[in-house]
């Protein structure tokens, strides 16, 4: 019978069979030849080339096994490193992806009999972190590449620097509060004395007409009344001295703080603003990443979309913080007396952790305001 034509169904079927994976029991690792069926494998084992390979292997079998073991280990770890990185993954998932390649080194030609033995060996040799669970064995690749270690050290150094900056800012604020409290003396309550007359027969005269003009005589008081008035004046002067100890700037700052507190709310989430994820519970993938609020639910919960990856997350207000753009960019005031007002960032005062804004919407458009805290405004998306 002649050979099938190139475009005949039989020839096409043969090419399809030859292209995909086939049964492992009909594969010869020494010759690296895959047979389609039992008859083909039997013919291959009787061939002269196969017999020569067996003679070579019989001279030094350990050398061939070590070679195949090293090839299997290096290819497996390379797939684990490139495909999964340092993530924790089930060993069977990695193995199935490894054997999907037709020219892979088969495990029955290596020193390991099962995948479990190979996984345990990787853990003992320090190539991976392995752990056994009710669902099977899991592995996590340990990357010892100097470049990777250097990048991780830089990331850790940057995180530590960010934490140091936050701690330094917190200590600065605490120091300012402590100094402010130490500089103010506690106010004493005024002491009021009762007006008593020593002599009941003595008369107290008040000339009400003295108020009408400067030419009128001053009111005449008795000696006991004059003593009581003097005591009251001295007490009043002492209280005024205590009040004068507060500077005008401190009183203005207190009034401004009370005014801001009266109009501030405990929720600040708004749609279409840029925020930063500050929780570590979601892993390093989302920590310190910027996102845009798409929807606000129940005032304290937001549906955000990450700018880098496009992932959508549902986060609480405590897991987010506002983002300060570069000067000249548009922002939205999210809290305080100018809430829901769009503005342009004019400048930043790092000492007071506040900014100068130019209102760009509302009935006060064009007005410049100063001293707006960082947490009261955020960048517009």
- Residue 338's pLDDT band, with cuts at 50, 70 and 90, is confident
Q: If DSSP codes are grouped into helix, strand and coil, which group holds residue 110?
A: coil
pLDDT above 90 covers what percent of the chain?
16
Per-residue pLDDT for 90 more than 90? yes
Sheet holding 301-306, edge to edge: 312-316, 301-306, 290-297, 274-277, 320-322
Q: Which domain holds residue 119?
A: 23-141
On the question of pLDDT at 102 being above 50, the answer is yes
Range 249-277 average pLDDT: 76
- Distance between CA atoms of 103 and 32, rounded to whole angstroms? 8
* 304 and 366 both lie in a single domain: no
What pLDDT, on a 0 to 100 scale, did the predictor assign at position 215? 44
Contact 281, 328 (CB under 8 A): no
Question: Has residue 290 been placed in a domain?
Answer: yes
Q: Residue 54: pLDDT band by 50, 70, 90 thresholds? A: confident
- Exposed/middle/buried for 378, CB within 10 Å: 0-12, 13-18, 19+? buried
Shared domain check, 103 and 128:
yes
Let me know: does 367 contact 359? Beta carbons within 8 Å: yes
| Other residues' Cβ atoms within 10 Å of the Cβ of residue 201 | 5
Tell me the mean pLDDT in the region 325-347: 89
Would residue 3 count as lying in a domain?
Answer: no
| Pure H helices in the chain | 9-19, 38-45, 48-59, 61-79, 91-99, 115-125, 146-183, 223-244, 248-263
Q: Cα torsion at 307, 308, 310, 312 (round to 10°)?
A: -70
DSSP-based three-state secondary structure for 309: coil
Q: Residue 276 is part of a domain; what is its CATH number?
A: 2.30.30.140
Phi, psi of 281 (to 5 degrees): -70, -25
| CB-CB contact of 348 with 312 (8 Å) | no
Instruction: Give the residue with greater pLDDT, 193 vs 51.
Output: 51
Question: Of 28-32, 56-60, 87-91, 335-339, which one has max mean pLDDT?
Answer: 87-91
pLDDT at 239 over 90: no
Give the containing element (helix H, strand E) for 179. Answer: helix 146-183
Query: Does residue 49 surpass a pLDDT of 70?
Result: yes
pLDDT per residue over 201-219, tens digit each?
A: 666 565 655 444 444 444 4
Residue 123 has pLDDT above 70, yes or no: yes
Q: Are 29 and 124 contained in the same domain?
A: yes
Residue with tokens 């925020």: 275
Question: What CATH number does residue 345 fall under?
Answer: 2.30.30.30
Inform me whether the pLDDT recorded for 236 exceeds 50.
yes
Beta bridge mates, 140: 88, 129
Cα separation, 30 vs 68, in Å, equals: 10
Quote the number of domains for the chain: 4
CATH number of the domain residue 87 falls in: 1.10.10.2030
If asked whether residues 34 and 62 sit together in one domain, one would say yes
Q: Which pLDDT value is given to residue 217? A: 44
pLDDT at residue number 343: 92
Mean pLDDT across 250-258: 69
Q: Cβ of 14: how many Cβ atoms within 10 Å? A: 13
76 and 107 in a single domain? The answer is: yes
Is the model's pLDDT at 198 over the cut of 80? Answer: no
Contact 213, 185 (CB under 8 A): no
The whole model's pTM is what?
0.34
Determine contact, residues 287/279, Cβ cutoff 8 Å: yes
Average pLDDT over residues 21-45: 73
Buried b (16+ CB within 10 A) or exposed e, 35-51: beeeeebeebeeeeebe
123-137, 231-245, 354-368: the lowest-pLDDT one: 231-245
Answer whether 380's CB lies under 8 Å from 274's CB.
yes
Considering the domain architecture, whether residues 345 and 363 belong to the same structural domain is answered as yes
In a domain, 204, yes or no: no
Residue 280 has pLDDT above 90, yes or no: no
Residues 348 and 272 occupy one common structural domain = no
In the chain, the DSSP E strands lie at 27-28, 33-34, 88-90, 128-133, 136-141, 274-277, 290-297, 301-306, 312-316, 320-322, 330-333, 341-349, 354-359, 368-373, 377-379
Does 207 fall in a domain?
A: no
Instruction: Return the bridge partners of 141, or none.
Output: 128
Tens-digit pLDDT profile for residues 292-313: 999 998 888 999 999 988 888 8
């Amino acid at each position: 019978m002649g050979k099938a034509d190139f475009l005949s169904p039989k020839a096409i079927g043969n090419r399809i069979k030859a292209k995909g994976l086939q049964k492992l029991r009909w594969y010869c690792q020494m010759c690296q030849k895959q047979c389609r069926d039992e008859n083909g494998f039997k013919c291959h084992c009787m061939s002269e080339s196969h017999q020569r390979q067996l003679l070579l292997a019989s001279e030094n079998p350990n050398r061939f096994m070590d070679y195949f073991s090293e090839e299997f280990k290096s290819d497996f770890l390379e797939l684990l490193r490139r495909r999964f990185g340092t993530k924790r993954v089930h060993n069977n998932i990695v193995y199935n992806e490894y054997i999907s390649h037709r020219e892979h080194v088969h495990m029955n030609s290596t020193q390991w009999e099962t995948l479990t033995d190979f996984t345990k060996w990787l853990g003992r040799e320090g190539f991976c972190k392995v752990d056994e669970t009710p669902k099977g064995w899991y592995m996590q690749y340990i990357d010892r590449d100097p470049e990777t270690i250097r990048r991780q050290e830089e990331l850790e150094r940057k995180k530590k620097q960010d934490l140091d900056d936050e701690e330094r800012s917190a200590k600065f604020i605490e120091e300012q509060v402590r100094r402010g409290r130490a500089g103010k003396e506690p106010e004493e309550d005024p002491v009021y004395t009762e007006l008593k007359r020593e002599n009941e027969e003595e008369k107290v005269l008040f000339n009400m007409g003295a108020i009408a003009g400067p030419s009128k005589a001053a009111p005449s008081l008795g000696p006991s009344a004059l003593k009581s008035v003097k005591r009251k004046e001295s007490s009043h002067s002492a209280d005024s001295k205590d009040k004068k100890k507060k500077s005008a700037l401190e009183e203005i700052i207190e009034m401004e703080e009370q005014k801001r507190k009266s109009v501030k709310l405990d929720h600040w989430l708004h749609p279409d603003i840029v925020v930063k994820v500050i929780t570590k519970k979601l892993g390093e993938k989302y920590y310190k990443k910027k996102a845009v609020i798409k929807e606000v639910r129940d005032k304290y919960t937001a549906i955000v979309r990450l700018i880098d990856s496009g992932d959508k997350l549902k986060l609480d207000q405590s897991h987010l913080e506002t983002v300060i753009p570069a000067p000249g960019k548009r922002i939205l005031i999210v809290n305080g007396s100018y809430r829901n007002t769009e503005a342009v960032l004019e400048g930043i005062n790092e000492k007071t952790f506040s900014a100068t804004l130019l209102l760009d919407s509302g009935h006060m458009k064009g007005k410049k305001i100063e001293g707006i805290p960082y947490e009261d405004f955020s960048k517009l998306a």
